[in-house]
Amino acid sequence: MSKGSKTTPSRRQFLSGAAVAGAGLAVAGTARAAGDPLITEVQSWARGLGDGVDATPYGLPIKYETDVIRRNVPWLTADSISSVNFTPIHALDGTITPQGCAFERHHSGAIELAKDDYRLMINGLVETPLVFTYADLERFPRVNHVYFLECAANTGMEWAGAQLNGAQFTHGMIHNMEYSGVPLKTLLEEAGYDTAAKWIYVEGADASSNGRSIPMDKALDDVLVAFKANGEALRKEHGYPVRLVVPGWEGNLWVKWLRRIEVTDAPVESREETSKYTDTLDDGTSRKWTWVMDAKSIITSPSPQAPIQHGPGPMVITGLAWSGRGAITRVDVSKDGGKNWEPARLAKPGERMALTRFYLDTIWDGQEMLLQARAMDETGYVQPTKAQLREVRGENSIYHNNCIQTWWVQEQGQVENVEVS
Ligand SMILES: Nc1nc2c(c(=O)[nH]1)N[C@H]1C(S)=C(S)[C@@H](COP(=O)(O)O)O[C@H]1N2
Ligand SMILES: [Mo]
C-alpha cells in the first residue's frame, strides 16, 4: 500500500475495489484482462523491425503527438509577422518547455542571423566601448539558470470576461527554459560602466529593435546574455544566436537577437515602454515601469482542451504557478469557485522566477466543479481574484492580468472557461 493510503484511500485499493464491485471502471478492467487482443495477440510492431538509429538525426515527436503544438488566434493580430502564438501548456507536464513548442512573440518577424554575423556592442557611459563576437561571448565564465518568460499580455484578453476557451490561449504566452549564458554584469564590467549610470538601453537586431530601458540595479543583479536554452542553441524564433534573459520581468524586456546595450543616465522612453507595455487605469492615467510579473497560477488539466475522459473516481488535477518576485511557496485548489480551498502538492520546492508544477491527487464524484488555483509566493503575496484585480486596475488594461482563473467542469467531464469574480 502506498504512503498516500493514510490520508486518502490508495489508488490501487480504489481501482481493485471498483473491480470487485463491478462498477464502470471494473467492467473495462475485466474485459481487458479477459480477451483484449492487445494483450493476447502478437501485434504488427512485434512482428517486424523498427527504425534504424539514424531514421531521424534530429528527433521530432512521434506522429501520435502532433496535436501538441503552438497555436495562434488569427483574429488577435492583423498578420502573423507582428503577432504571438501560444504554448500548449494543457498538454505538457513538469516545468521545462521544449523549445519546439514554446510560444513566440515577434514585432517584425523572426530573423535569421548567423553566429558569424553576430555582433554585440556595449557603448554609452563606459570607459571602453566594446564589440563582442559570438566567439568572444563564449570565452566568459558561464552560468545556468531555469527561468520563466511571460509576456505582459498573457491573459490580457480575459479582463472584461471569460473569452478564450483553453489554457493554451488564456495562459500560454509563457515558457520556462534552462538558459546558459554570461551574466550581463560581467560584460558591463569588461566595458567599465560608469558606476553613477542608472540605466541601460537594450536593442535587438530585427527591424523592430524592440528597444527597452532597464534599471542598472536589475542589469547588475541577475540579467543574463544567453545563448543556449535547454542545453541547445536558441531557436531562431527565440532570438538565435543571443538573447537577453531578465528573470521575473515581463517578456518584452527579454530582447532577442541582442545587438546593443547602451549605458545611460536616464530611460529612453521608447515606444515599447510608453504607448505599449504601460497599464491604463480607470481614471485614464497609466502605470509605467511595471516590469515584475506578479504571482499567478493556472490549472492546465483538466481544462477546456484537456477534458476529463475517465469518468468518476481517482483523478489528477495539475497546473503551473510562478512569480516574478521569487519562489512559489504554496498553491491552493478550489473545486467550488473559491469557497473552499485545498492545498495542492508542489512537485518540488518552488524555484525563484521559474515555473512550479502542482498536483491535487483527488477523487472526482462526477459532479460539476468550478476549478480554481491560487498561488502564493515567498513575499507572502497571494494571487488576486478577478474582482480584487479590477478594483485596483479597472478594466482598461491589457497587460499584467494575474487574476485567479475559473474552469467549469461539467458532469460529462467537458470543461469551459467561465468567470467567477
Ligand atoms: N528583438 C526583439 N526582441 C523581443 C521581441 C521582438 O519582437 N524583437 N518581442 C518581445 C516580446 S513582447 C516578448 S513577450 C518576448 C517573447 O519571447 P519568445 O518569442 O521567445 O517567446 O520577446 C521579446 N523580445
Ligand atoms: Mo510581450
Average of per-residue pLDDT across 190-204: 98
Answer yes or no: is pLDDT of 4 > 50: no
For residue 326, give the CATH number of its domain: 2.60.40.650
Q: What is the mean pLDDT of the chain?
A: 93
Q: Indicate which residue's Cα is closest to atom 24 of ligand 1.
A: 255
> Of 91, 114, 398, 126, whose CA–CA distance to 257 is shortest?
114
Same-domain status, 262 and 316: no
Question: What separation in Å is there between the alpha carbon of 149 and the centre of ligand 2?
Answer: 9
Residue 269 contacts residue 383 (beta carbons within 8 Å): no
C-alpha grid cell, residue 65: 503527438
- Is 264 in the same domain as 360? no
Ligand nearest to the CA of residue 243, numbered in listed order:
1
Mean per-residue pLDDT, 401-406: 98
Which of 382, 405, 406 is closest to 331 using CA atoms? 382
Task: Choose between 78 and 408: higher pLDDT.
Answer: 408
Say yes or no: 230 and 253 in one domain. Answer: yes
The predicted structure's pLDDT at residue 64: 98
* Domain end residue (candidates: 239, 261, 287): 287
Distance 178 CA to ligand 2 centre (A): 19
Give percent of the chain with pLDDT exceeding 70.
92
Q: Does 414 score more than 80 pLDDT? A: yes
pTM of the complete model? 0.93
Q: Is 301 found in the same domain as 244? A: no
Per-residue model confidence (pLDDT) at position 35: 85
Final residue in a domain of this structure, among 287, 319, 339: 287
Residue 16 above 60 pLDDT?
no
Which residues make up the environment of ion ligand 2, defined by Cβ < 5 Å?
A: 105, 151, 251-252
Q: Which of 23-32, 195-204, 365-374 has the lowest mean pLDDT?
A: 23-32
Residues with CB under 6 A from ligand 1: 103-107, 149, 151, 175, 204, 206, 208, 210, 237-238, 251-252, 254-257
Q: Does some domain include residue 49?
A: no
Task: Tell me: do 272 and 313 sit in the same domain.
Answer: no
Q: With the CA atoms of 67, 73, 78 and 84 taken in that order, what torsion angle do they form, in degrees rounded to the nearest 10?
A: -70
Does residue 69 lie within any of the structural domains? no
Residue type, 289: W
Give distance in angstroms: CA of 85 to centre of ligand 2. Answer: 11
Same domain, 150 and 278: yes
Answer yes or no: is 60 within a domain: no
Domain of residue 31 covers 3-40
Closest CA to 335 of 310, 315, 321: 315
Are 85 and 103 a contacting pair, CB within 8 Å?
Answer: yes
Task: Show which of 287, 305, 326 is a domain's final residue.
Answer: 287
Report pLDDT digits (tens) over 45-69.
999 999 999 999 999 999 999 999 9
Nearest CA to ligand 1 atom 11: 252
Q: Over range 263-271, report the average pLDDT.
A: 95
Domain total of the chain: 3
Decide if 33 is inside a domain: yes
CATH code for the domain in which residue 242 is found: 3.90.420.10
Nearest to 363 by CA among 313, 309, 415: 313
Check whether residue 258 and residue 352 sit in a common domain. no
Asked whether residue 205 is assigned to any structural domain, the reply reads yes
Say whether 32 sits in a helix, a strand or coil.
helix
Instruction: Establish if 202 belongs to a structural domain.
Output: yes
pLDDT confidence bin for 12, thresholds 50/70/90 = very low
Q: Does residue 52 lie in a domain region?
A: no
Closest Cα to atom 21 of ligand 1:
104
Helix, strand, coil percentages (3-state) for the chain, rounded to 5, are 20, 30, 50
> Which of 104, 210, 259, 291 should be mutated for ligand 1, with most atoms under 8 A from CB?
210
pLDDT at 191 > cutoff 80: yes
Task: Give nearest CA residue, ligand 1 atom 16.
Answer: 105
Is 283 found in the same domain as 138? yes
* pLDDT surpasses 80 at 33: no
pLDDT at 20: 36
- Looking at the structure, tell me whether residues 283 and 301 fall in a common domain: no
Give the confidence band of 31 by pLDDT, cuts at 50, 70, 90. Answer: low
Q: Return d(Cα 227, Cα 238) in angstroms, integer.
A: 10
CA–CA gap between residue 29 and residue 310 (Å, rounded): 12
31 and 155 in a common domain: no
Distance CA 343, CA 359 (A): 9
> Which residue, by CA, sits nearest to atom 20 of ligand 1?
238
Among protein residues, the one with the nearest Cα to ligand 1's atom 23 is 252
CA 216 to ligand 1 centroid distance, Å: 21
The verdict on 303 and 248 lying in the same domain is no
Is 70 contained in some domain? Answer: no
Closest CA to 321 of 359, 362, 361, 371: 359
pLDDT at site 219: 98
pLDDT at 1 over 60: no
Rounded alpha-carbon distances, angstroms, from residue 206 to 50, 86, 113, 209 = 44, 21, 9, 5
CA 179 – CA 144 distance, rounded (Å)? 5
User: Ligand 1 centre from 107 Cα, in Å?
Assistant: 7
Are 344 and 411 in the same domain?
yes
> Mean per-residue pLDDT for 337-365?
98
> Are the C-beta atoms of residues 179 and 111 closer than 8 Å to each other?
no
